[in-house]
Amino acid sequence: MKIQHIFFDLDNTLWDHRGNAFLTLKEIFKREEVRDKYNINFDDFHREYFTINERLWEQIRDGEIDKEYLRKHRFYDSFLFFGIDDFELSQTFENNFLDEILNYNDLVEGAFDILEYLHDKGYTLHILSNGFQEVTARKCELSGIQNYFKTITSADEINIRKPKPEIYDYALKKANAKVEESIMIGDDWIADVEGAKSFGMQVVYFDVFDDKYEANEVKVIRKLQEIKNIL
């Protein structure tokens, strides 16, 4: 059956979370004078934070921890790595980070162009994100892509995250979309690819970080422009 509905992941698929987070943290790091107080280089701090944050998000995705645990620990554990036990400082970073990341709204290269292309071809577009509900819609709004989407779904709405089938079921019902008419495009192999594939959707894996995962019936792109060769 012909594809009619396209579900996009948001962070690092359309919205450049990695780049926007880097710029936000660099600003907070400078303002809090961390280098002067603790003799830590920003690039070293960011590298450790990135590793810890990615691991915590994997644990959220797998249902091992909740959102509150992540918000309490991602900066605290990062500072602990450097021998700094300062919960107040870590929460200053956490609170400012969620507020200020919305000051940076760079999109992944080619995002506007591919959304315009798909819209003009008559597809109905949707967002399905594991990100926090309080920022998902704002990211779409402030980056200027909100109006391309019929629905914007955050896993927080039912507190169940990709790759679990319930979140796919919820998003498709919200979109009034049939599974056989729907395709998922995302950068997370487990959440987006394995989750959607096991639910019965077609899948495009956006290998934005060159992880080189492959599977039968999964189309792989490395630039958003390559979607034009598929849809």
What DSSP state is assigned to residue 15? B
CATH code (residue 65): 1.10.150.240
Main-chain dihedrals φ then ψ at residue 112, nearest 5 degrees: -60, -45
Q: Determine the pLDDT at residue 134.
A: 82
Query: pTM of the prediction?
Result: 0.93
**Cis amide leading into 165 (omega within 30):** no
**164 and 181 fall within a common domain:** yes
Same-domain check for residues 10 and 21: no
Q: What is the pLDDT of residue 133?
A: 87
**Alpha carbon distance 80, 89 (integer Å):** 11
Angle formed by the axes of helices 87-100 and 67-81, to 10°?
120
The answer on 154 and 59 residing in a single domain is no
Shared-domain flag, residues 51 and 127 = no
Domain encompassing residue 43: 17-103
Both 136 and 74 in one domain: the answer is no
24 in the same domain as 64 = yes
The answer to whether residues 121 and 214 belong to one domain is: yes
Are 61 and 128 members of one domain?
no
Q: Determine the Cα–Cα distance for residues 209 and 191; give it in Å rounded to an integer.
A: 15
* 159 lies in the same domain as 59: no
By DSSP bridging, strand 149-154 and strand 182-186 are unpaired
- Counting Cα atoms < 13 Å in the Cβ hemisphere of 185 gives 28
User: Which of 103, 129, 149 is where one domain is finished?
Assistant: 103
Per-residue pLDDT of the chain (231 residues; tens, 9 = 90+): 699 999 999 999 999 999 999 999 999 999 999 999 999 999 999 999 999 999 999 999 888 999 899 999 999 999 999 999 999 999 999 999 988 999 999 999 999 999 999 999 999 999 999 998 889 999 999 999 999 999 999 999 999 999 999 999 999 999 999 999 999 999 999 999 999 999 999 999 999 989 999 999 999 999 999 999 999
Strand pairing report for 149-154 and 218-221: unpaired
User: Percentages helix, strand, coil for the chain, rounded to the nearest 5?
Assistant: 55, 15, 30
Cα 57 from Cα 217, distance rounded (Å): 27
Residues 150, 198: one domain? yes
